[in-house]
Amino acid sequence: MGKEVFIETIRSSQMFKGGSILIGSAVYQDDYDTHCQVRLPLKTINRHGLIAGATGTGKTKTLQVFAENLSEAGIPVMVMDIKGDLSGLGAAGTTNPVIEKRAQQIEMDWQGKAFPIEFLSISDEPGARMKATISEFGPVLLSKILGLNCNQGGVMSMIFKYCDDRGLPLLDIKDLKTVLNFIQQDGKEDFLKEYGFIHSNSSGAILRSIIALEQEGADAIFGEPSFDIFDLMRKTATGEGIISVLRLTDMQSKPALFSTFMLCLLAEIFQKMPEQGDTGKPELVLFIDEAHLIFKNASRSLLDQLEMTIKLIRSKGVGIFFVTQSPTDIPAAILGQLGTKVQHALRAFTANDRKAIKSASENYPYSEHYRVADLITQLGTGEALVTGLDEKGRPTELVHTLIRPPFSRMDVLTDYEIGQLLKDSALIKKYNIDLDRESAFELLSERMDEMARNQRDEEKEIRSTRAKTGRTSQRQETSTFEKILRSSVTQTIAREVTRGLLGVLGIKSTGTRARKR
């Protein structure tokens, strides 16, 4: 099968009627001059995707190329920047001989260009803070995030109902912990009457899970002001989609927090985004770098929730791309939902590596032109196997692709450049404010303080009453004794007793000795 047949096969597989984005050019065996561009249709980008490859093979630059293409097409983008190397999207790139040669091979016009970016943060990284309240998570999602069992999840639902009925806003973690402690102590009887008994083992397990998440820095993502997901879908005055760069360089050691945030974000987008008809392109595309962190140590219920969300969210016009080293990092049920796949090189240093490569190669469509399992190990930096879905949802021909060079800077911004972007950010002015309105923590703390004061006052009153009663009894005893002593009856008895005693001694009551007869 010759080069001409190969080129015809690729071109016929990519005959799109609507808009598309340029990924690069086809490579036939060792021939890079095929004059055959590789493109992906915008219409099926919301069918999700995968960008995989070993460290240093160019997958982050491929992510950069996708973000640029989508922004130019008027599609807002959100990228998770865990390694801290995507800020260069905000500055124009500079040319060099490698870029010039590659642009010539791909038959494209290359020109350095800066793209509109916005920095976001869920930690101490600089950027507009992204938060959501505990109430917005809801009991079901929060239970899945905390890894609670059915009984503990039922308790969580009861807690939310209790707070709804009593007007106790659940905004942040301290609100939830305060309510949990209150219904086990001062509010125990009140809770028991209407909602039932909570075993201390259940409440203890919930509290331990909350504290474990809190220790990873969950305070940063729970609270107000809540982030409006429609702020991710902004465009410039000229119609370019704004690229939101979520800085997560400190998240690699906090997989639970990263998973929590991602699940909350996807749930919020799914709930608020309207169903989208056939508009020909997505409303928003998310790129999750180092995606294995989401699935690392994730519970079964959490994975089920992610799978369901990814299946359904594409109907809202939202595409999700996972960026990781190997397709095997993604659970099979989720991997099967990914329509676009870009596979950079994998390295085989051990027997386990070779098994992983064989498994990875089986995730791609069969090709008459390539032996995929062999080619995966031979791809050069900035090269990848690419397949997508055509406008009818059918897989496009798998093609060895020379990825086009990014227009933006392939290095990070300087601190000064980042500072200028942050200074001009409208979202930072909107979200980076201290807001802690009255919620369950304040309301219950005030109630507990009042109950403690009332208890102290009651104890003080009891002590005072006891003291008064003691003094009154003593005065009453003294008064009664005096009355008895002063009474005529007492005096008569006293005289007779005295007389009797004196008579025994032979003495008259007058005090003189009796005369002898």
Per residue in 91-141, pLDDT (tens digit) is 999 999 999 999 999 999 999 999 999 999 988 888 999 998 999 888 988
pLDDT above 70 covers a percentage of the chain that reads 89
Which has more confidence, 505 or 468? Answer: 468
- Domain shared by 243 and 375, yes or no: yes
**pLDDT surpassing 50 at residue 516:** no
Is the separation of the CB atoms in 369 and 1 below 8 Å?
yes
**pLDDT surpassing 90 at residue 89:** yes
How confident is the model over 421-463, as pLDDT tens digits?
999 899 999 999 878 788 888 888 887 777 767 777 777 777 7
- Domain shared by 206 and 267, yes or no: no
Is the separation of the CB atoms in 48 and 321 below 8 Å?
yes
Domain assignment of residue 296, yes or no: yes
In sequence order, what are the residues at sequence separation of 6 or more whose Cβ sits closer than 8 angstroms to the Cβ of residue 399?
10, 26, 27, 38, 385, 386, 387
If one counts the domains in the chain, the total is 3
Is the separation of the CB atoms in 196 and 157 below 8 Å?
no
Query: Looking at this protein, which amino acid is placed at residue 502?
Result: L
- Domain shared by 180 and 46, yes or no: no
Task: Give CA separation, 275 vs 71, 285, 337, in Å.
Answer: 22, 15, 19
For the chain, the straight-line distance linking the first and the last C-alpha, in angstroms and rounded, comes to 168
- Domain shared by 150 and 259, yes or no: no
Residue 506 binned pLDDT confidence (cut-offs 50, 70, 90): very low
- Domain shared by 313 and 389, yes or no: yes
- What is the pLDDT at residue 488? 58
Residue 57 binned pLDDT confidence (cut-offs 50, 70, 90): very high
Which has more confidence, 59 or 473? Answer: 59
**pLDDT surpassing 80 at residue 468:** no
Element (H, E) at 115: none
Residue 480 binned pLDDT confidence (cut-offs 50, 70, 90): low
How confident is the model over 181-210, as pLDDT tens digits?
898 888 888 888 888 888 888 888 999 999
- Domain shared by 264 and 215, yes or no: no
- Both structure tokens of 60: 């982050």
Beta strand 77-81 with 284-288 is parallel
Task: Give CA separation, 60 vs 50, 339, 410, 434, 467, in Å.
Answer: 12, 19, 10, 35, 80
Note if the pTM is more than 0.75: yes
The strands making up 340-343's β-sheet, listed across from edge to edge, are 37-41, 20-26, 399-403, 383-387, 340-343, 49-52, 318-324, 284-288, 77-81, 243-247, 117-121, 128-129
The mean per-residue pLDDT over the stretch 245-267 comes to: 81
Domain assignment of residue 458, yes or no: yes
- Domain shared by 325 and 180, yes or no: no
- Domain shared by 28 and 13, yes or no: yes
Q: How far apart are CA 24 and CA 64, in angstroms?
A: 13
Residue 491 binned pLDDT confidence (cut-offs 50, 70, 90): low
Domain assignment of residue 100, yes or no: yes
Domain assignment of residue 365, yes or no: yes
Residue 303 binned pLDDT confidence (cut-offs 50, 70, 90): confident
- Domain shared by 30 and 87, yes or no: yes
- What is the pLDDT at residue 201? 87
Domain assignment of residue 432, yes or no: no
- Domain shared by 381 and 469, yes or no: no
For residue 250, the domain's CATH number is: 3.40.50.300
Residue written as tokens 């009355």? 483
- Domain shared by 213 and 283, yes or no: no
> Which range marks the domain in which residue 282 is found?
3-128+231-424
Domain assignment of residue 328, yes or no: yes
pLDDT above 90 covers a percentage of the chain that reads 49
